[in-house]
Structure 1
């Protein structure tokens, strides 16, 4: 799964990278995004005739939900079932988005100890998670991040990972429609090898902590030699 990530680029940077127009004030940079936080996303807008940088609440809230709290349990949508899920299928067909991220976190447990890892591109480029969105009761934009089976050495950290889309697949993803098998294809091996698995400190485990120190590498690396 993807339950915590970092996203720190400004709306100007995101607009340039994704060729999109900002239509809302982008949330402040965060190195510790948690469920229900406001997050930037890129989606298509008929009103603006193209891509926009918008802000959504992380955790898709289906239309039948009584309140926004339902979204806390729906931050991720499994790529294997998203097209059939009652909560996600309509958004998968018509309301797809890209969720920009610097990287994401997972934890590995050894006995009583948990080691946090931060997965991020070696070249510090921006990742685009495949996402879906909906508007709850016409007033609150909410979103989920799609996940897929972990590949390569990332399986040593967690059995799931975000579905990451390379730039050449952004147009097809955002357009709607298309063949699910092709749209949900995981990263290629070369793209996967470009992701660093970095051991970080335990402070990221507390959602109240934030700042660039959270993604700094520590000396601990229990998985050394097992990745890629």
Structure 2
């Protein structure tokens, strides 16, 4: 799963914030479900902010009445799940990230780890689904079985797309191995709270 992640550093990268036609925002290192995140469509002009916790368009109650846990969706069965199947057909998107976190250990002594791009890449592109509920854009991050690089930290991981896979995903095509080639590195970081933020959150500590 993916329950916390990091804003991408889009300044100076392959996509500049100025190209996205959205207001600049301070980079966050501790994004939580229900917060606004950047999503990308097939062209940069389709970039927008969305609430990270998908609400399907057919939901007729209030936002508070939507109780299902839909900030992640399993890629293996999202196409057939009532909460996600509409977005699977019509709401594919990319969710850029600088990295994400997972925890190991037992309750009360959880050790956070940050998972970052390997090599020279600065940005990960998660496969996402978005859904317009009333006037609110919402989204979810798709997950898959973890690759060997991160399986020791968690059994699941976001579906992280290569450049070729990004276009395939947005075009409606997919394959059973989407995200299998993601190159990642990880290290333990200091424990942090729900309100903590800043680049110090990703600094390595001794395991």
Normalised by the size of structure 1, how large is the TM-score?
Answer: 0.80
2:50 partner SS: strand
Deviations 1:129-159 (A, max 9, x none): 000001111x111000000011214111111
CA contact (8 A) 2:21 2:45 kept: no
Alignment correspondent of 2:38: 40
The CA deviation at 1:207 is 1.8
2:28 to 27, 30, 51: 30
Alignment correspondent of 2:178: 185
CA contact (8 A) 1:79 1:184 kept: no
Can you give the 5+ residue segments of structure 1 that lack an aligned partner in the other structure?
Answer: 221-228
1:93 partner SS: helix
1:130 to 114, 127, 131: 127
Q: Report how many residues are paired.
A: 204
1:201 to 175, 190, 198: 190
| Higher percent of residues as helix | 1
Cα distance in 2, alignment partners of residues 71 and 53 from structure 1: 27
CA contact (8 A) 2:4 2:101 kept: yes
Alignment correspondent of 1:101: 97
2:201 partner SS: helix
| Higher percent of residues as strand | 1
The CA deviation at 1:18 is 8.5
Which 4+ residue blocks in structure 1 deviate beyond 6 angstroms?
none
2:204 to 217, 220, 227: 217
Matched ranges for 1:57-68 at <5 A: 57-63=51-57, 64-68=59-63
CA contact (8 A) 2:5 2:101 kept: yes
Alignment correspondent of 1:175: 171
- Do the aligned partners of residues 174 and 80 (structure 1) sit closer, same or farther apart at CA in structure 2, a change above 3 Å counting? same
Matched ranges for 1:5-84 at <5 A: 5-10=5-10, 16-17=14-15, 21-25=19-23, 27-44=25-42, 51-63=45-57, 64-69=59-64, 70=66, 73-84=69-80
RMSD: 2.5
Q: Larger deviation: 160-169 or 50-59?
A: 50-59
